[in-house]
Structure 1
Amino acid sequence: MSKQVQGYFYLALAMLTVGSTVIASKLIAAGLPPFTATALRFALALPVIFLLMRASGVRLPKLSRHDRLILFVQAGAGSVGYTTLLISGLSLTSAADAGVIIGTLPVVSAAISILLLRERPRRALLFAVGLASAGVFSIAFTPEAAGGSLAGNALIFLAVVCEGLFILLNKRLTADIPPLVQSTLMTGIGFVVSLIPAVFEAPLAHGFSPGAIAAVVYYALVPTVGGFLLWYAGAERVSGTEASLFTALAPVSAVMLAFTILGEPVGLNQIAGIACVLAAVFGLAFASSRTEQKFIEGR
């Protein structure tokens, strides 16, 4: 097996784990409060990631006050905000609908860059935003088709916005932080941030569902730790453009897993929605690769 094919295999598995977080979050939502589940997820993942960091020999670079603030906000938005909103949204809507909405992340991230960084939008990006919006609208306003709700879909979209902010803020860091170190920091800070509101949820009073606990353990060890290792193992074997294309597999795997594991119906609205989202992501990636190629040829 060639190095490139190995990269494709690892990236595909990584995105399969990302899609499975939707299923895990659906199970968690039925048996645990969102902040409690989030704190437990980070508590389980942190020792494993920390040991991986120590084993690899990487060290935490000296961080400025600016970077420390950025990391704190990143953890609050991308780690805690994303997870709690995802779990909260899935207590109201279907995993299939959530999978479609989560697939808009690359397009939402690009749109946030336009709004907050005042980047000039390209025609391809505007077209991708339109396609992705059509995909979301195809399921957002027909929630009864698969047991969803408009409120739940809105919470899922807010989770995507939080993750988009995480990506945007990562561009504002001045220090070069190795991925494994940053993952450790996000997990540690996320644990502290989620622990405080988790106390007010009084988790002991709610009781614990064995299925929800099992889903949290899975979320902590497989997507959080395993997904990280798979993604970077694959990303180092292929180009950045090739790696970005594999993010389109996450919503596909989420919808398919919702059908096979949870037994949720997948209707024409989900199929149309995921087709629009995939077209938007692939179109945006293709336009980016064309721009990059022209830049290289012009040098």
Structure 2
Amino acid sequence: MSRQVQGYVYLALAMLTVGSTVIAGKLIASGLPPFTATALRFALAFPVFLVLMRASGVRLPKLSWHDRLILAIQAGAGSVGYTTLLISGLSLTSAADAGVVIGTLPVVSAAISILLLRERPKPALLVAVALATAGVLSIAFTPGAAGGSLAGNALIFCAVVCEGLFILLNKRLRAEIPPLAQSTLMAGFGLIVAIIPAVFEAPVAPGISASAVVAVVYYALVPTVGGFLLWYAGAARVSGTEAALFTALAPVSAVMLAFLILGEPVGLNQIAGIACVLAAVLGLALADSRVALKISGGR
């Protein structure tokens, strides 16, 4: 197997774990409050990341107060905000609908860059935003048949916006932080941010189910740690554009796993939604690849 094909396999597996977070979140939502589950997730992942850092010899760079503040905000938005909103949304909507909404992340991230960084939108991006919006609307206003909910879908979309802000804030960091070190910092900061509301959440929490605890352990070790290792192993073997294309597999895997594991029905609205989202992500990635090809002189 060539190095490039190995990269494709690693990236596909990484996106499969990303899609599985929707299934894990659905199970968690039925038996654990969101902040408690999030704190437990990072409490499990953080020491594993520390061990990986020590084993690989990765060290934390010296960080300015500016970068420390950015990392803390990133953890609050992208780590804690995303996870708690995802779990809260999944308590109201179906995993299949959530998978479609989560698939809009690349387009939402690009749109946030335009709004906050005042970047000039390219025609390809405007088309991608329109397609992604059509995909979300196809499931947002047809709840009921598959257990969907407008409020739940809105919470999932807010989770996507939080993750988009995480990506944007990453561009504001001044220091070059190795990926493993940054993941470790996110887990540590995330634990600190989530544990405070989790303390107040615990006394009023309903009965905790064993399946929810198992789902949190899975979420912490497989998508959080394993997904990180798979993604960066794959990204090291292929181009950035090729890696970006694989993000389109996340909503597909989420919808398929919702059908196979949770037994959720997948209707025409989800199929139409995921088709629009896939077209948006793939079109945006292909447009970027053409631009990169022109810049490099066709080499």
User: Contact (CA 8 Å) 2:32, 2:205: kept in 1 or not?
Assistant: no
The structure-2 alpha-carbon separation of the partners of 1:214 and 1:298, relative to structure 1 and needing over 3 Å to count, comes to closer
Q: Where in structure 2 are the equivalents of 1:184-263 lying within 5 Å?
A: 184-202=184-202, 206-263=206-263
CA RMSD of aligned residues (A): 1.1
What amino acid does structure 2 have at the position aligned with 1:149? S
Offset, 1:207: 2.9
User: Residue 93 of structure 1 corresponds to which residue in structure 2?
Assistant: 93
For 2:257 and 2:273, locate their aligned partners in 1 and report how far apart those are by CA, in whole Å. Answer: 16
TM-score normalized with structure 2 length = 0.99
For 2:278 and 2:96, locate their aligned partners in 1 and report how far apart those are by CA, in whole Å. Answer: 15
Indicate the percent of aligned positions where both proteins have the same amino acid: 84
What SS does the corresponding residue of 1:144 show, helix, strand or coil?
A: coil
User: Residue 264 of structure 1 corresponds to which residue in structure 2?
Assistant: 264
User: Contact (CA 8 Å) 2:114, 2:120: kept in 1 or not?
Assistant: yes
Residue by residue, what CA displacement relative to the aligned partner does 1:33-59 show, whole Å, maximum 9, x if unpaired? 000000000001111111001111111
What SS does the corresponding residue of 1:153 show, helix, strand or coil?
A: helix
TM-score normalized with structure 1 length = 0.99
Offset, 1:206: 2.6
User: Contact (CA 8 Å) 2:33, 2:205: kept in 1 or not?
Assistant: no
Deviant stretches of 4+, over 3 Å:
none
Q: Where in structure 2 are the equivalents of 1:172-183 lying within 5 Å?
A: 172-183=172-183
Q: 1:64 and 2:64 equivalent? A: yes
What amino acid does structure 2 have at the position aligned with 1:125? L
Q: Where in structure 2 are the equivalents of 1:37-186 lying within 5 Å?
A: 37-186=37-186
What amino acid does structure 1 have at the position aligned with 2:129? V
User: Contact (CA 8 Å) 2:61, 2:175: kept in 1 or not?
Assistant: yes
User: Contact (CA 8 Å) 1:95, 1:255: kept in 2 or not?
Assistant: yes
Offset, 1:105: 0.2
User: How many residues were matched structurally?
Assistant: 299
For 1:42 and 1:138, locate their aligned partners in 2 and report how far apart those are by CA, in whole Å. Answer: 34
Residue by residue, what CA displacement relative to the aligned partner does 1:70-90 show, whole Å, maximum 9, x if unpaired? 000000000000000000000
For 1:148 and 1:137, locate their aligned partners in 2 and report how far apart those are by CA, in whole Å. Answer: 12
For 1:281 and 1:7, locate their aligned partners in 2 and report how far apart those are by CA, in whole Å. Answer: 20
Residue by residue, what CA displacement relative to the aligned partner does 1:108-136 show, whole Å, maximum 9, x if unpaired? 00000000000000000000000000000
More off after superposition, 57-66 vs 84-93: 57-66
User: Contact (CA 8 Å) 1:36, 1:201: kept in 2 or not?
Assistant: yes
The structure-2 alpha-carbon separation of the partners of 1:81 and 1:205, relative to structure 1 and needing over 3 Å to count, comes to closer
Residue by residue, what CA displacement relative to the aligned partner does 1:7-62 show, whole Å, maximum 9, x if unpaired? 00000000000000000000000000000000000001111111001111111101
Can you give the 5+ residue segments of structure 1 that lack an aligned partner in the other structure? none
For 1:53 and 1:224, locate their aligned partners in 2 and report how far apart those are by CA, in whole Å. Answer: 15
Can you give the 5+ residue segments of structure 2 that lack an aligned partner in the other structure? none
User: Contact (CA 8 Å) 1:33, 1:203: kept in 2 or not?
Assistant: no
User: Residue 13 of structure 1 corresponds to which residue in structure 2?
Assistant: 13
For 2:260 and 2:58, locate their aligned partners in 1 and report how far apart those are by CA, in whole Å. Answer: 40
Q: Where in structure 2 are the equivalents of 1:23-38 lying within 5 Å?
A: 23-38=23-38
For 2:230 and 2:204, locate their aligned partners in 1 and report how far apart those are by CA, in whole Å. Answer: 35
